[in-house]
Amino acid sequence: MTAERNLVRLARDWIAQDPDTWTRAELEAAVADAERGTPSALADLHDRFDTRLEFGTAGLRGAIGAGPNRMNRVLVSQTAAGFAAWLLSRESSPSVVIGYDGRTNSRVFAIDTAEIMAGAGVRAILLPRLLPTPVLAFAVRQLEVSAGVMVTASHNPAADNGYKVYVGGADGGAQIVAPADAEIAERIYAIAAGSRATDLPRSSDFETASEEVVDEYVRVTASLAGAVPAPISFVYTAMHGVGWHTARRVFVDAGFGEPISVREQQEPDAAFPTVAFPNPEEHGALDLAMATATTAGAELIIANDPDADRLAVAIPADGGWRRLSGNEVGSLLGWRAAERLATAGADGTLACSLVSSPALREIAREYRLDFAETLTGFKWISRAGGLAFGYEEALGYLVDPDKVRDKDGISAAVDFLTLVSELKAAGKTVEDHLLEFAEKFGAFASAQISVRVTDLAEVPRIMTKLRDAPLREIGSIRVDRVEDFASGFGSFPASDILRFWTTDGARVIVRPSGTEPKVKVYIDSSSTEGTGPRRQAAAQAVVDELDAGIRAILA
């Protein structure tokens, strides 16, 4: 009973400092049920108060609700105050630019952050309206500020929101990495332990950025296209997010003309009513875009996720549509980047995450460029020395590192649209170009499996099982060796990653997701034997066998 009384006391203390009417009422109802001894209410309070959303290199992300294990105004205020304290420990007059998307409470959290920052003595600049994450990342560099905050949960489920942090100066506007995350977290925890959110100093003396920063982002991004040799009819979907108005301006200014919009998904809607998950990788997420493209007779589908930092592409195939994988798009854009460097007689680095296709390494080798393989996440990719192009298979691409140091789904769309225009002018299709890729570099096939869990404890159990009983075969294919990153591997720091290499050179990588309750599996194979079509078929056959085998193992 003492533990239960203490739990209720923590909840009541939270209610006393919560400025949000909805989350306060939600928690008051839970407390009332808990005091009546309702087991489910006690379990709910334990879930809210036994742990806290952990601030890490991905910032914060979680379901909206009351308590330290949810996204809410108390937690955001504590986070903003802790981040402000960290910035003030680094420089005497720090500054921060703050952006937000169209999710529930995004603007509220952004204003809370601006007021807390200003109250702490940090110059705070709020972007003029809800905008894509790449605009915020661009603004960090463009405004030459110390840091940036983007309130977004990107492609997470509708119930979630998040808090992403960037650092300017020597970090160039990239997302934070260790040890900054731990240092900021320590400041946040000190604030949470020593002050109520209602007592934190606030000020309305923050700035609102002019539209000029958006105009400049549009200008620079549109300029990537250069000449557009052939017109393209293409469909665009913002996936109920904030991409439409900015992306449309970019496409028009770049010379591609008006995109055909998926009207049902054009404007921000925090409920994401037409998709199960607002992630263009998910099955069915592009159904409306494909239906729109079929009706319009379009040649291409371009999709951004809700905060527009990711890009999905679909092309005509067998009377319907096929979404290209992130590795296919990344390989084609990487090839373009290598060609640009070769034309300019310049050096540069091509970089991708270790779970992305080995194809980019082969492109770099062919063009005698530097290649960097990093841990997952653009916070690592964007820090590659001499970066000219970076990507990760989860639909993230960086085609213009001088402009922004994070993935950018709008500029990547411009680069891909330019490629399609050039191919059309030459009488070719994207499928033709993929075949040319296979003939020049070899064929690379990939697949991804997501094992979603409801109990987060199941994730480490899956990883432990694979470590305790290392795989000797996956399907009918023998495993040659296993690389465990738990204690660090090569130049990589300790990470919860397992990499299995087969005797024929294919690989399977298993790791927990960094933002969602699931285990992710990445499968890659390649072939350089025979013609382009034979290479493609051979690589795909190995991937199919490994896919079926690992599914059976994890079932």
Report the catalytic residues: 154
Alpha-helix residue ranges (DSSP H) falling in 165-324:
180-194, 212-222, 244-254, 287-296
Exposed/middle/buried for residue 297 (C-beta within 10 Å: 0-12, 13-18, 19+): exposed
Residue 208: what are its φ and ψ, rounded to 5°? -115, 120
Half-sphere exposure of 266 (CA within 13 A, CB side): 10
Residues near 324 by beta carbon (within 8 Å), at least 6 away in sequence: 312, 313, 314, 315, 430
CA Rg value for the chain: 24
Gap between the Cα atoms of 143 and 353, Å rounded: 29
447, containing H or E segment: strand 443-452
Residues near 541 by beta carbon (within 8 Å), at least 6 away in sequence: none
**Cis check: omega of the bond before 460, within 30 degrees of 0:** no
Look at residues 205, 166, 69 and name the one whose alpha carbon lies nearest to residue 405. 166
Gap between the Cα atoms of 490 and 492, Å rounded: 5
**Strand-strand pairing, 311-317 and 320-323:** antiparallel
Q: Where are the beta strands (DSSP E) in 217-368?
A: 234-237, 260-261, 300-304, 311-317, 320-323, 349-353
Which DSSP string corresponds to 276-298? Answer: SSS-TTSTTTTHHHHHHHHHHT-
Gap between the Cα atoms of 530 and 528, Å rounded: 7
Which DSSP string corresponds to 368-392? Answer: T-EEEEE-SSHHHHTTSTTEEEEEE
Gap between the Cα atoms of 407 and 398, Å rounded: 5
Q: What's 170's DSSP letter?
A: G
Q: What's 524's DSSP letter?
A: E
